[in-house]
């Protein structure tokens, strides 16, 4: 019996390995710096060395890769230049005043981006362009944080990256206008995978606000495998919002690798609404004491959607603080996976870590798999986690119904109240309103069950 079931599995593993290798190998960009091609080669080596993730490997326990492999995505090679600013109007956030960067299918678009005047000490631009014009600025920074991690898709990204966004803030630079990054995907005739690589680096005491949005034109089928590295210097402050609104046919893989120096502060909000299959890895490392990392998130998963958040926060030094607060609403046949790990090393005394994951299930066919983990080797710490899974309180519904509110509206109100706790953290106001509207619209489409 086992032999019979193993055979297709082995075949799938082989197909996957072949696919990964093809992507890793066939993408060397050629005319670039020695250090980067060395990095690429090592990454390609790591991809080769990795055993193919299956349901048996802990990191992919609840997230099957079969549907991804079956698509046979091939790398995007040519930039798509046909779009005009009018074409992207439909995906903009109304009333949002921001310095705008647009990437189309993973390639930085000069024509669509609108940076405006940048303050002193702030550089924003294309990774590809900077690798050509000023590679020294990136050496030792790019790939340092996402480094030799064993995440197969991050390694694949390193091997195959072609372009992306670079934001560099010098010491004490202050970027007051939010930086809006629109990752726009447009369907091609064959299913394509874009593998952009982004870098945000804030020098000592620098401050910035970044809004990343993943959007698409139409219901295209495509795959995004992006990696974002963030380096925060001493006392730096980054406010970061990520709104994932990929097409409902899309596959979305992102890795966010964060390195925080002493006293720095990172406040991130992740909103996951789109994609049929989405996997996000948030990885935080502290390189100085008294740093603070705040990760919050909201995800809505409906029919044929799988949304997976993996979090890995490692406290290696004393006196750091981390917060993870994720909330999810599941409807239809939606599935969500939450896997959070807080690791406190022996020397990381006085660590303050808190993790919570709360889920609301609206339909009998939805599923949530949550795994909040603590791994603690120091004794003078304050660490806790909490998880809940439940449905809307019948009493709360009854209360609203008895005041003449329709069942559908009552449910929407309660869900928005539940989600509001996360949405309210978002800034600026235009973005907050936009996300509230998106979530509200989405909830409106959920049939009563």
Partner 1 sequence: MSAIPAEATTVKTKADTTGQYDDLVNAGYEHGFITDIESDTLPPGLDESVIRAISLRKGEPEWMTDWRLTAYHKWLEMPTPTWASVHYPQIDYQAISYFSAPKKKDGPKSLDEVDPVLLETYEKLGIPIEEQKALAGVAVDAVFDSVSVATTFREKLHEAGVIFCSISEALQDYPELVKQYIGSVVPPTDNFYTGLNSAVFTDGTFVYVPKNTRCPMELSTYFRINTANTGQFERTLIVADEGSYVSYLEGCTAPQRDENQLHAAVVELIALDDAEIKYSTVQNWYPGDENGKGGIYNFVTKRGDCRGHRSKISWTQVETGSAITWKYPSCILRGDESVGEFYSVAVTKGRQQADTGTKMIHLGKNTRSTIVSKGISAQHGQQAYRGLVRIAGRAEGARNHTQCDSLLIGDKSSAHTFPYIEVKNPSAQMEHEATTSKISEDQLFYCRARGLSEEDAVSMIVNGFCKEVFNELPMEFAVEAQKLLSISLEGAVG
Please report, as ranges, the residues that interact with partner 1 according to CB under 8 A. Answer: 58, 62, 287-289, 316-319, 346-347, 349-350, 359, 361-391
Q: Which two tokens stand for residue 25?
A: 């190998």
Nearer to partner 1, 304 or 371 (CB): 371
Length of the chain: 449
Least Å distance, CB 368 to partner 1, is: 5
CB of 61 to partner 1, least distance (A): 8
Strand, coil or helix: 4: helix
* Closest approach of partner 1 to the CB of residue 370, in Å: 5
Assigned token pair, 366:
């939805």
Give whichever of 119 and 386 is closer to partner 1, judged by the CB atom. 386
Is the CB of 88 or the CB of 232 nearer to partner 1?
A: 232
DSSP letters along 118-139, please? PPTTEEEEEHHHHHHH-GGGTT
Which of 74/378 has CB closer to partner 1?
Answer: 378
Residue 152 CB, nearest approach to partner 1 (Å): 20
CB of 372 to partner 1, least distance (A): 6
In the complex with partner 1, the residue whose CB is nearer, 78 or 380, is: 380
CB of 315 to partner 1, least distance (A): 12
**In what helix (H) or strand (E) does residue 330 lie, and over which residues does it extend?**
strand 321-330
Provide the strand spans (E) within 37-144. Answer: 74-75, 99-104, 107-108, 122-126
Place of tokens 């509207």: 437
Shortest spacing between CB 442 and partner 1, in angstroms: 17
| Burial letters 166-194, b for 16+ CB under 10 A, else e | bbbbbeebebebbbbbbbbbbbbeebbbb
The residue (of 63 and 245) whose beta carbon lies closer to partner 1 is 63
Is the CB of residue 244 less than 8 Å from the CB of residue 216? no
DSSP 8-state secondary structure symbol assigned to residue 54: -
Our CB check for partner 1 shows the closer of 222 and 309 to be 309
Query: How far is 372 from 368, CA to CA, in rounded Å?
Result: 13
Nearest to 159 by CA among 201, 193, 135: 193
């Amino acid at each position: 019996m086992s032999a019979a079931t193993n055979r297709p599995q082995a075949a799938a593993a082989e197909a996957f390995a072949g696919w990964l290798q093809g992507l890793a190998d066939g993408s060397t960009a050629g005319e670039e710096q020695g250090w980067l091609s060395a990095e690429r080669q090592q990454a390609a080596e790591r991809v080769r060395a990795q055993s193919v993730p299956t349901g048996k490997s802990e990191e992919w326990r609840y997230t099957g890769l079969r549907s991804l492999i079956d698509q046979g995505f091939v790398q995007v090679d040519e930039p798509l230049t046909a779009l005009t600013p009018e074409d992207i109007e439909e995906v903009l956030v109304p009333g949002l005043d921001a310095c705008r960067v647009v990437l189309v299918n993973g390639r930085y678009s000069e024509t669509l981006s609108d940076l405006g005047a940048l303050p002193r000490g702030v550089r924003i631009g294309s990774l590809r362009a900077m690798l050509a014009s000023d590679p020294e600025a990136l050496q030792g920074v790019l790939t340092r944080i996402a480094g030799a991690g064993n995440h197969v898709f991050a390694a694949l990204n390193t091997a195959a990256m072609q372009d992306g966004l670079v934001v560099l803030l010098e010491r004490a630079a202050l970027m007051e206008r939010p930086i809006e990054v629109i990752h726009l995907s447009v369907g091609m005739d064959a299913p394509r995978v874009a593998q952009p690589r982004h870098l945000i680096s804030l020098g000592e005491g620098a401050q910035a606000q970044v809004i990343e949005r993943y959007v698409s034109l139409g219901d295209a089928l495509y795959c995004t495998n992006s990696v974002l590295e963030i380096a925060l210097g001493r006392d730096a402050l980054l406010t970061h919002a990520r709104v994932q609104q990929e097409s409902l046919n899309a596959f979305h893989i992102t890795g966010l690798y964060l390195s925080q120096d002493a006293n720095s502060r990172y406040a991130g909000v992740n909103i996951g609404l789109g994609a049929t299959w989405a996997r996000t890895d948030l990885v935080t490392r502290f390189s100085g004491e008294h740093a603070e990392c705040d990760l919050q998130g909201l995800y809505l998963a409906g029919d044929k959607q799988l949304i997976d958040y993996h979090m890995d926060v490692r406290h290696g030094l004393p006196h750091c603080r981390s917060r993870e607060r994720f909330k999810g609403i599941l409807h239809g046949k939606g599935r969500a996976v939450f896997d959070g790990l807080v690791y406190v090393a022996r020397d990381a005394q006085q660590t303050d870590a808190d993790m919570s994951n709360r889920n609301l299930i609206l339909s009998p066919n939805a599923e949530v798999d949550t795994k909040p983990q603590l791994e603690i080797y120091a004794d003078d710490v304050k660490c806790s986690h909490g998880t809940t899974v439940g449905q809307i309180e019948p009493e709360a519904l009854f209360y609203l119904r008895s005041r003449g509110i329709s069942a559908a509206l009552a449910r929407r109100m309660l869900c928005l109240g539940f989600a509001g706790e996360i949405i309210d953290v978002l800034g600026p106001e235009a973005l907050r309103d936009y996300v509230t509207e998106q979530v509200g619209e989405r909830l409106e489409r959920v049939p009563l069950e």
